[in-house]
Chains A and B, each alone.
Chain A
Amino acid sequence: MVWKYKDFLCIEGLTKEEIELIIETAISMKEILNRTIKKVPTLRGRTICTLFYEPSTRTRSSFELAAKYLSADTISISVSVSSVQKGESLLDTVKTLEAMGIDALIVRHNSSGVPYFLAKNLTCSVINAGDGMHEHPTQALLDVFTVFEKKKRLDNLKIAIIGDVMHSRVARSNIYAWKILGSEVKICGPSTLIPPGIEDLGVEINYDIDKVLEDADIIYILRLQLERQKKGLFPSLREYHFLFGITPERLKKAKPDVLVMHPGPMNRGVEISSEVADSIYSVINEQVRNGVVVRMALLYLLLGGGRIDETSYS
């Protein structure tokens, strides 16, 4: 099994074997993160550029550190102080960067599909770091890797995804990943935040949160995307917390070896209580650490040599 694509755009369309290859490579990368000297020479002389049209701390720094630990050079373009402000188009901006010799472009954009458009128009590798309400594929990879470390398997698990599924690209990438891997996904949240037609992805919708928590091996709490809530989809944050917030009382009914996950940044006291976020069930900090690990694996697979057969899988 070898990686054969130029780009990494989404989880949808990947095979089980391809996801497993990334996870296996990540297992080897984890050891590097535990060293005193966290650097290997693998991507020496390669240049990686991050271009984020939306705010981010963890994804961007995670990608940059992953690249640095593999000895690649990194540049990061802040859209707010770039020529985008002078009216330069997206394609002209990235063509300029490519002309300077970058080997990979890591892009986050508020419009779904931007990474596809760029992948088609560029010869360098394109990695999706989140596009609109579509996918955030590297987040799903780090979630899968974190679960694998704890549970030692990826199939026949029961994943409960709780909260604002509608606005969440993290939810979509996770749903695709867990379905490909052969696990079961249930989603739960206010009906106004559950997008119509989501059942077509093979998930079960259940509005009874206590029942959903009872069966789950993994409780995946989504961030309530306050910046995207303008239409009064639920009455108040207090009511949301009362009905769907994960609290120690709610967690009492869960399995003793349940894992609580959250993609961050957390709204403590809204979708997750502080006690739960800092509890022994929580693997939220491991998720962040593993983010660097899976991104190292991905950069190695995309840029670490070997022949590329196909430019894209979708």
Chain B
Amino acid sequence: MIYQEKAKILDREGIRRSLKRIAHEIVERNKGVDNIVLVGIRKRGVPLAYRLQKYLREIEGKEIPVGSLDITLYRDDLNLRLEQPKVGKTEINFSIDGKDVILVDDVLYTGRTVRSALDALVDLGRPKTVQLAVLIDRGHRELPIRADYVGKNVPTSRKELIEVRLEETDGIDEVVITEWKEE
């Protein structure tokens, strides 16, 4: 069994356009950015949050705080996994009390990561609202969770895998869909 690349869903330009549109939607929905903070979920949500910060600066001319959230300690599957996940660092150097928090992640799938992230956020303060922005929504939710901002909806089968690769973490900007194949 090997992973075989099936199709490229987004290229560099595609990712840029999607994020720019999300930035515009954030401004529109919140009537500005004065109360907004961005929190990226480790690990690929963090560079995406920084990119949104850059586009929001271009649109509104304001600097929005960005933090990173590690959800390892909040996972619901720690006892089920064969390999223990490494704990990453949460760095949110601002108060989230009364803020409109935009949670940012690369792929929305079962919804369990977002569930953990919501628990983690609540431990750090009491935001006014929490909104979810994802680059890809691939369906198959196991929990009642939905995204407020979606770069691209991609209908997938459970056998498929969505790989988001970013310049900052992987040296290239692309989103590909891969599948388990018999050798």
A residues apposed to B, CB below 8 Å = 2-3, 24-25, 27-29, 31-32, 35, 37, 39-42, 70, 297, 300-301, 304-307
From B73, B74, B82, B88, A306 is in contact (CB under 8 Å) with B82
Q: With A40-B123, A42-B78 known to touch, is A307 a contact of B83 (CB < 8 Å)?
A: yes
A24: chain B residues at CB < 8 Å are 86
Q: With A28-B88, A31-B91 known to touch, is A40 a contact of B74 (CB < 8 Å)?
A: yes
Cross-chain contact B73 with A301 (CB below 8 angstroms): no
User: In terms of DSSP, what is the predominant structure of the interface of chain B?
Assistant: loop
State A70–B73 Cα separation when bound (angstroms). 8
Cross-chain contact B80 with A305 (CB below 8 angstroms): yes
Cross-chain contact B73 with A300 (CB below 8 angstroms): yes
| A-B interface pairs (CB < 8 A), number | 54
Cross-chain contact B123 with A35 (CB below 8 angstroms): yes
B123: chain A residues at CB < 8 Å are 35, 37, 39-40
Cross-chain contact B82 with A307 (CB below 8 angstroms): yes
A31: chain B residues at CB < 8 Å are 89-91
* Sample (16) of A-B pairs whose CB atoms are under 8 Å apart: A2-B83, A2-B84, A25-B86, A28-B70, A28-B72, A28-B89, A28-B90, A29-B87, A31-B89, A37-B124, A41-B73, A301-B84, A305-B79, A305-B81, A306-B81, A306-B83
A28: chain B residues at CB < 8 Å are 70, 72, 87-90
B82: chain A residues at CB < 8 Å are 306-307
CB distance from B114 to the nearest CB of A (A): 16
- Quick one: which of B72, B78, B81, B90 has the most chain A CB within 10 A? B78
A304: chain B residues at CB < 8 Å are 78, 84
Q: With A28-B89, A31-B89, A35-B123 known to touch, is A42 a contact of B73 (CB < 8 Å)?
A: yes
B74: chain A residues at CB < 8 Å are 40-42
State A61–B126 Cα separation when bound (angstroms). 30
B85: chain A residues at CB < 8 Å are 306
Q: With A35-B124, A41-B74 known to touch, is A25 a contact of B87 (CB < 8 Å)?
A: yes
- Quick one: which of B70, B84, B85, B90 has the most chain A CB within 10 A? B84
B 66-106 binary contact with A (CB < 8 Å = 1; else 0): 00001011100111111111111111000000000000000
Closest to B91 in A: A31
**Residue B119 is within 8 A (CB to CB) of chain A in the complex:** yes
CB distance from B69 to the nearest CB of A (A): 11
CB distance from B77 to the nearest CB of A (A): 8
A300: chain B residues at CB < 8 Å are 73, 87
A40: chain B residues at CB < 8 Å are 73-74, 120, 123
B90: chain A residues at CB < 8 Å are 28, 31
Taking A28-B72, A28-B88, A42-B78 as given, write out 7 further A-B residue pairs in contact, using a Cβ cutoff of 8 Å, ordered by the A residue number.
A31-B89, A35-B124, A40-B73, A40-B74, A41-B74, A304-B78, A305-B79
